[in-house]
Structure 1
Amino acid sequence: MKYFLNLLLLLTISGPLSAQVEKVTPIVKTSKVVIDQFMDLRFGMFIHWGPVALRGTEIGWSRGNQVPFEDYDQLHKEFNPVLFNAEEWVKTAKNSGMKYLTITAKHHDGFCLWPTKFSDLNIMETPFKRDVVGELAAACKKHGLKFCVYFTVLDWHDPHYPYARAGTKEINATTDMAKFVATMKDELTEILTNYDPYMLWFDGNWDKEWTDAHAHEVYALLKQLKPDVIINNRLKGISDFDRTREDHTRLSSDAIGDYATPEQKIGALNMDYPWESCMTIANQWAWKPNDALKSTKECIQTLAKTAAGNGNLLFNVGPMLDGRIEARQINRLKEMGDWLNTYGESIYGTKGGPFIPNNTYASTRKGNILYVHVFNRKEDVLTLPALKGVKVKKAHILNGDAITFSQSATGSIALNLPARLPNADNTVIVLELNKNAETIPVIAQSN
């Protein structure tokens, strides 16, 4: 029996036996309790940052396009963000009402923001020589935010990865996926052991050489190191199933991960599985000078529509080359935080639905309370679809005055709006129901 258990453990964590790992190792998802707690957080900060900030172009993807390869690959030698302050970043996130923070520890260009022993392209090879990942982990712990790590599968710097640049079909002569996966596992072991991240956000899983067998092998190691680490749905090899359906917005039955990740769009209302939309506060993920910033209204309504769809929002900032987050981005985030100080009850720890979000209103719910997020006052009366078998007992502005309403025999609700909404970006109306709002089925149509 002891021999069998040792053999099973070997098959679980061994690098070269990836085909066997896929057969032997079951995908044991993170516990529902942990995932439910993650979804209750609702709002997190995404940070895309690295030496590319010196050029103000997109991280990874501008390599060989806007920035010549030979220039891009030497940027780390100039990278010295002397104004980087982990606590200031974390306090910016906290003041914005964010509950977790995710840093691009390694993007597709292979640069590592921590002093890894397994790559020569890391923060210690810059003039800066400080452990950015470690400092952020410590600051998050100090200020009560969940610390999370973005880690790409592909790595154009690693000689054992098949490709050295985006879009090429030319295979590296030194390609060795077994060695590549071994390095990846070593780097992830460093991250989990040294920084204890709450969640791992994978990306870059689309090259055909990365298979489900590799994903299973890495996943098994992660779950051995930290059984309840949360993992998104971008670890599974895309090449092993129909690419036309893969936009990360769905959590397939065979997913190697815990939640779906729609990108640069708000996910659709989904009560079946957890999801998180990742979106940028401007246009580019990494810092870009004078990049167009989303308006306060758009930012607040994006958060509300995401929660109303039963998802989380991972909202991205791109710090500058000197290590600071732009003041205008900080101010915009603070405006979101100010709104949450008044209306956060309608976001955190809620469920989405039952109404499908639109540009006029959306809804979230908790217990016997239904929160109606009013985005636009088009008429004096806001009419909501019928809630069959449900009665509204009371209605009032969240942290404000009562409002009058009527409910028809079919269950439709007419809310008499104040002449001027207390908050032009999103005013929340609280409806107290005679039953648990979370049990109401999703309403098929919304005004």
Structure 2
Amino acid sequence: MKKTLITVLIALLGQSLFAQQHSEQNHDKYVVPSDPKVKEKLNQWQNVKFGLMMHWGTYSQWGIVESWSLCPEDEGWCERKGPFKDNWYEYKKAYENLPKTFNPVEFNPEKWSAAAKNAGMKYLVFTTKHHDGFAMFDTKQSDYKITNTPFASNPRSNVAKEIFGAFRKDDFMIGAYFSKPDWHTDDYWWSYFPPKDRNPSYHPAKYPEKWKSFKQFTYNQIEELMSDYGKMDILWLDGGWVRPFSTIDSSVSWQRTIPFDQDIDMARIAKMGRERQPGLLVVDRTVSGEFENYVTPEQQIPDHYMPIPWETCMTMGDSWSYIPKENFKSARKLIHILTDVVSKNGNLLLNIAPSPQGDFHAEAYQRLEEIGKWMKINSEAIYNTRGDNEIGKQNKLVFTHNANTTYAIYRADEGESIPSTIEISNLALSKNTLMNLLGSTEKLKWTAKEGKVVVEIPEKLRKVKGSSYAWVLKIVRQ
């Protein structure tokens, strides 16, 4: 009986995960932007491929999940820890007192930007405000902000402005992450009604003036970011349960739990944003339609090529927020993830979480350096390419394309040397096609037989190349 029950549960879980992934990969509802400047910006974004995300806030002091421990839901990521964990009211009070001790004296955004640029990253998305409502910028709408902490005496206390400025100087596209829900403001979690979950603690239709006030609060904060923080390329909105009720996708389990309409008038927000930032990409995550200029599967990679603009957002370690001991993915794994994403026509937004002192783990810098060494040789197969919907993944090979050039990326196992021959199916070539490995100008011999292209890697070149994370075969059709 127990074995049968376990089998049923596994099957149901598999169906749930399939439905969730299928929904995130369903691009039937994608709306191509009509604004020429947005189209141009979207094309630019699709060409840069690789970005840095940072989740940073007062929660880093406790080394806990960002914001979610405040949420009174029975979910693993909402688990409370510490001396106040058994009393939500005491816990919330202690959590909201964290700004009194937040003082990231090691803050140096130029160091982050240099490391990210060296790794080959070309755009940034920084958390200006997460669900807890703590603003990492000098908002005029609330006192719950970075410039009302011990760090306020630092001339760089408006950290969002400093971060955006540092990365902008290094030619990054700039994105502002902003949480639509705000669990600090009384206009969302109204103190008259204790919250039961992530949603407003009151019914917006019953208290329309309260909801109107929250909409204006949200608009005002986004307007500050779009007006006072320099050139902005991306408005990256999180908290997908804040949405018109009509947009709920019932095939996604978490969306079925949204109890009521939470329309914040995205048309008004987007219009304002683009008046101040022409061509602004608006990413209203999980809300299909004209205000989701690209889709954002989280911690997963679609299982097939997707023709629409998309981005996998993923953590370098296990956590979005800072934890003292992190389990970082290896450089090999991260490069394989990047090449997998790009081969399927996506971008990779890789998250690193700063510490409460204001710096990355040393190991995060090491990973960025290792990725950078690989990118300096092989970035041609990443930037300005589009994914492959012609050849198809073959064993260790994935493919990208740029005009008349195809890049075959051989993703090696640990300690593996480049093979003496590489075989590729579904590749039609003329006899004038030229091939070489990136990092070498030596022309490679190839033959076509029995429906396969066989590329020879001479022993001398194999010795020079040694072991690597991945090798890239450049195939140029004349």
TM-score range, shorter chain: 0.7 to 0.9
Match of 2:355, as an amino acid?
M
Correspondence 1:323 to 2:353: no
Residues in 2 aligned to 1:235 and 1:154: alpha-carbon distance in whole angstroms: 14
**Partners of 1:86 and 1:136 within 8 A in 2:** yes
Q: Note closer, same or farther for the CA distance 1:169–1:138 as it changes in structure 2 (3 Å cut).
A: closer
Aligned residue in 2 for 1:44: 51
Is 2:410 aligned against 1:366?
A: no
For residue 143 of structure 2, what is the amino acid of its counterpart?
D
Moved over 6 A (4+): none
In 2, Cα distance between equivalents of 1:316 and 1:257:
20
Give the superposed CA RMSD.
2.5
Q: Secondary structure at the match of 1:128?
A: helix
Q: Counterparts of 1:358 and 1:294 in 2: how far apart (Å)?
A: 24
Percent of pairs identical after alignment? Answer: 29
Contact 2:296/2:313 (<8 A) preserved: yes
Unaligned runs of 5+ in 1: 1-25, 237-251, 435-447
Find the partner of 1:66 among 80, 95, 118.
Answer: 80
TM-score by length of 2: 0.76
Task: Check the 8 A contact 1:269/1:310 in 2, yes or no.
Answer: no
Distance apart, 1:52 and its partner CA: 0.6
After TM superposition, give the deviation of residue 426 of structure 1 in Å: 0.6
Residues 170 and 307 of structure 1, relative CA distance in 2, 3 Å threshold: closer
When residues 172 and 76 of structure 1 are mapped into structure 2, their CA distance, relative to the original with a 3 A threshold, is: farther
Matched AA of 1:167: D
Q: How does 1:17-56 map to 2 (within 5 A)?
A: 28-29=34-35, 31-56=38-63
Residues 35, 295 of structure 1: alpha-carbon distance in 2 compared, 3 angstrom cutoff? same
**CA–CA separation in structure 1 for the residues paired with 2:264 and 2:141:** 22
**Alignment-derived partner of residue 264 in structure 1:** 299
For 2:476, give the aligned amino acid.
E
Going from structure 1 to structure 2, the CA distance change for 1:54 and 1:190 (only over 3 Å counts) comes to same
> Could you say which residue in structure 2 is the equivalent of 1:350?
385
The correspondence for 1:394, drawn from 425, 434, 446, is 434
Is the alpha carbon distance of 1:266 and 1:359 closer, same or farther for their aligned partners in structure 2, counting shifts above 3 Å?
farther
Counterpart mapping for 1:13-162 below 5 A? 28-29=34-35, 31-63=38-70, 65-67=79-81, 68-129=91-152, 130-162=157-189
Residue type of the alignment partner of 1:330: Y
1:181 — aligned with what? 215
Please tell me whether the aligned partners of residues 392 and 407 of structure 1 are also in contact (alpha carbons under 8 angstroms). Answer: no
Aligned match of 1:225 in 258, 262, 276? 276
Aligned equivalents of 2:221, 2:264: Cα separation in 1: 19
Cα separation, 1, equivalents of 2:304 and 2:284: 18
Change (3 A) 1:203 1:156: same
Amino acid at match of 2:110: E
- Matches of 2:382 and 2:59, distance apart in 1: 35
* 1:408 counterpart (438, 449, 454): 449
1:160, 1:172 within 8 Å by CA — same for their partners in 2?
no
Structure 1 equivalent of residue 309 of structure 2: 274
In the TM superposition, residue 266 of structure 1 has moved relative to its aligned partner by 2.0
In structure 2, C-alpha distance between the alignment counterparts of 1:292 and 1:201, rounded to whole Å: 26
Residue of structure 2 equivalent to 1:19: none
Checking the alignment, whether the CA contact within 8 Å between 1:153 and 1:235 is kept in structure 2 is: no
Q: 8 Å contact 1:285–1:316 — kept in the other structure?
A: yes
Residue 128 of structure 2 aligns to a residue whose secondary structure is strand
SS in 2 for 1:318: coil
TM-score by length of 1: 0.81
CA distance in 2, matches of 1:405, 1:261: 39
Matched residue type, 1:374: Y
